[in-house]
Amino acid sequence: MALHLDNTTQQNVNQWLSGAYDAETKSQIQQLIDQEDQITLTDSFYKSLEFGTGGMRGEMGVGCNRMNRYTVGAATQGFANYLLTVLGNQKIKVVIAHDSRNNSPEFCRIAADIFTANGIEVYLFPALRPTPQLSFAVRHLGCHAGIVITASHNPKEYNGYKAYWSDGSQVVAPHDKNIVAEVNAILSVDDIKFQGNDALLHLLDDQIDQEYLKTIQANCRQPEVIQRQKDLKIVFSPIHGTGITLVPKALALLGFTSVHVVQEQAEPNGNFPTVIYPNPEEKEAMTLALDQAKALDADLVIATDPDADRVGAAVKSPSGEWQLLNGNQMASLILYYLLKVDKKLGRLTGKEFVAKTIVTTDLIDKMCAQQGVPCYNTLTGFKYIAQVIRELEGKEKFIGGGEESYGYLIGDAVRDKDAVASCAMIAELTAYAKDQGKSLFDFLAEMYIENNFYYEGLISLTKKGKAGAEEIKQMMINLRSNVPASVAGSKPVKVLDYEGLQSTDLTTGQVNPIVEGRGIEASNVIQLILADGSKVSARPSGTEPKIKFYVSVNAPLASAADFDTTFSSLQAKVKTIQEDLGLK
């Protein structure tokens, strides 16, 4: 068969075959042409890999829609151009890190060379390190920006590029869109300065590790409890990622002496040979850790994703079965512990706050209100939580916060989700529970007995292609214009529409503005609040052909013995809400 490529794809292929690209790249393209591999050619060249507001992510390979030295190069040259435009004649400094994925070290070095070629000083981690340490290093080293080469918990075929600003947060407005514009302005490979200047390159040593670990040690609330429970049995898996570099060290620094690393997943490996997806949200990725926990009769299982910004955990139920905790449960447990202990230690002075995303459990809001601690709700994405921390810096103290997608942060030394610090805090709160003769499961039940059992269900609907995008758009229009009279037997009483930044009280008809700022801006998100305290949030994904519905329900929990029964009834209620709203 002959190749039939559309005009844009063919033009991009021709540009790469005739431009200043290396011989190996051109050879690979020619091979695809000779094999008449129309599918791969089209997917690799039909568009340019998008550099979005937080960076970019894509499959690795040749072509303008793939992660390779040239797309990484264009992103970095655009970022460098923006820094030079905004910061002028300053001595500009950037710090760069990478994870365990295939090609990450090479992409990292390419980015470093391009920055130095543009006269920008680079501080480079010589070996893989967690993303939160990159965030820490930006501020600790006084850098103007940072990047980390990672695709988080995506499959092995992917890699990516996250961009950070001087506060250690992923870039936000106005820098995000301005950087995107500069990256899009790189129209030719000839615009990219690949020839680095080693005089401007500084390799970091393990001193930066020690400084980062000190901040984690400073988060520790009750070292005496850890000392009494230092033999707490912890099973840890880095799932072939960067967590191996610092999580065991952090746990040892706090005093834990019985940490068991899952050896089959200890070696950093971009092929992630023991899992389908290197994602601690997936039970399959936790199988080896859970098997080891059963064999050891462990107290806690924790696992980090490849760039160690997310952490999954598992607890042993009274029946002896291990069960995974979801992101809402773990975020709640961390805040339940911090608020409880900080109150006991006299650390709550009226100047503290918590931050979380609007789709994360309202249980956290309830616990904060009981302690008189403000809980700021932001749009989805940790950069918005970091924005709140930045705005309140010097006025209020950040205790901690998180989001339902397994990302948590304790203290403000880092400005992104931090699985290393979270692993340490999860171990501490487990030791605290054990010190009281309780398991982590008992601690979870105690929190629910005091505050109600909150359960959150995520319904993610994939709608591919142009037709799918139109369907998602129509679903949001329908929600805005046709609020149901009843959902699961409960009447909607309030609608929060973040696109129009307005809140409507359905019982009185009163419309109030949703105040912009502190992590809130116009965004295509709608929330229905029901009379019984349930909540449904609808949010189209910004990066995938999906629309996500976050359903939150709650009910009293009389005792730990009622846990399974209450849990089942809440699950059934989420299913009823899904059916009533026709989410399929």
Residue 522 to residue 125: CA distance in whole angstroms: 37
Amino acid at 533: G
Helix (H) or strand (E) holding 102: none
- Return d(Cα 339, Cα 292) in angstroms, integer: 32
CA distances from 456 to 187, 257, 363, 544 (A): 45, 35, 10, 22
Distant-in-sequence, close-in-space partners of 157: CB < 8 Å, separation ≥ 6: 59, 60
Sheet bearing 121-124, strands edge to edge: 55-59, 158-165, 145-149, 93-98, 121-124, 201-203
What's the rounded Cα separation, in Å, for the pair 516 and 96? 32
Q: Write a three-state SS string for 150-186.
A: CCCCCCCCEEEEEEEECCCCECCCCHHHHHHHHHHCC
Residue with tokens 């609020």: 483
Task: For residue 461, give the nearest of 451, 475, 478 by alpha carbon.
Answer: 475
Which of 189-210 are b and which e, b meaning 16 or more Cβ less than 10 Å from the residue's Cβ? beebbeebbeebbbebeeebbe
Q: Which amino acid is at 558?
A: A
* DSSP state string for 397-451: EEEEEEETTTEEEESSS-SS--HHHHHHHHHHHHHHHHHTT--HHHHHHHHHHHH
| Residues with catalytic roles | 152
CA proximity to 212, closest of 302, 123, 139, 146 = 139
User: How many angstroms from the chain centroid is the CA of residue 63?
Assistant: 27
Measuring CA to CA, how many Å separate 87 from each of 10, 39, 84, 198, 493? 39, 43, 5, 22, 49
Query: Residue 109 is which amino acid?
Result: R
Instruction: Count Cβ atoms below 10 Å from residue 559 Cβ, excluding itself.
Output: 9
Residue of 163, 133, 161 whose CA lies nearest to 146: 163
Distance of CA 377 to the CA centre of its chain: 16
Q: How far apart are CA 479 and CA 540, in angstroms?
A: 12
What Å distances lie between residue 152 and 309, 310, 312, 321, 516, CA to CA? 8, 9, 14, 29, 29
